[in-house]
Amino acid sequence: MYNYLKGIITAKDEDNRIVLEVNNIGYDLYTDNELYNCEEEICKAYVVLVPGEDEFRLYGFKNEEKRKLFNLLRSVSGLGSKSVIKILSSAESVEIIEAISFNDTAFLKSLPGVGKKTAERIVLELKSKMKHFSESLNIEETEGNEDKIKNLKLFQEALEGLEALGYSPGKSRQVLRELMEKREDYTVQQLIKDALKRFLEQS
């Protein structure tokens, strides 16, 4: 019914709800933090209309990447739209994709409203879709998205290499993140090499 709305944010409340005024009509939108904190004069919201027993709700996102991830997470049994908004407001899309791709239920459990069983369900139901989802983001025009996906693929390949060498996913993710925060021009081979040096230093 709706693809996106462009307008002025005229009100906000603590439940991540905003009022987006478009052509003198105010739309109630439940949003993630990116759209909620939009500082542009005219904000563009990619929306999803979700029917409920008592009311229809509009959910809005700053980019299509988040909207797609919202719909994927919402498809997991036991996860409602309100819970998914809280999850998306607590972590970057790339972090969530990484966690699902590499069975990192510990990270997923750190998100609001996600317990052990829910984290396991998210991985079980979505892991097979993550590779296609990551690849599909290459065609998005979201600002900065190319770098995010490039880093995600680099991270994934390096993590797979470390796991093949017998290192645990949890420790490997932590070391890789620390290394990638300090340097931007890594190749997969160099990233794995530096990660192995770090493991030797810590042993």
DSSP string, 171-186: HHHHHHHHHHHH-S--
Whole-prediction pTM: 0.70
What residues have CB less than 8 Å from 129, skipping those under 6 apart?
72
Determine the pLDDT at residue 146.
57
Residues 186-203: tens digit of each pLDDT? 999 999 999 999 999 887
Q: How confident is the model at residue 145 (pLDDT cuts 50, 70, 90)?
A: low
Contact 16, 45 (CB under 8 A): no
Distance CA 96, CA 126 (A): 11
Find, among 129, 131, 107, 133, the residue nearest to 119 by Cα: 107
Q: What percent of the chain has pLDDT over 70?
A: 90
Q: Tell me: pLDDT of 147 over 70.
A: no
The number of angstroms, rounded, from the C-alpha of 199 to the middle of its chain's C-alpha atoms is 28
Residues 22-65: tens digit of each pLDDT? 999 999 999 998 999 999 999 999 999 998 767 889 999 999 88
Q: Domains in the chain, start-ordered, CATH in brackets?
A: 1-62 (2.40.50.140), 63-141 (1.10.150.20), 144-203 (1.10.8.10)
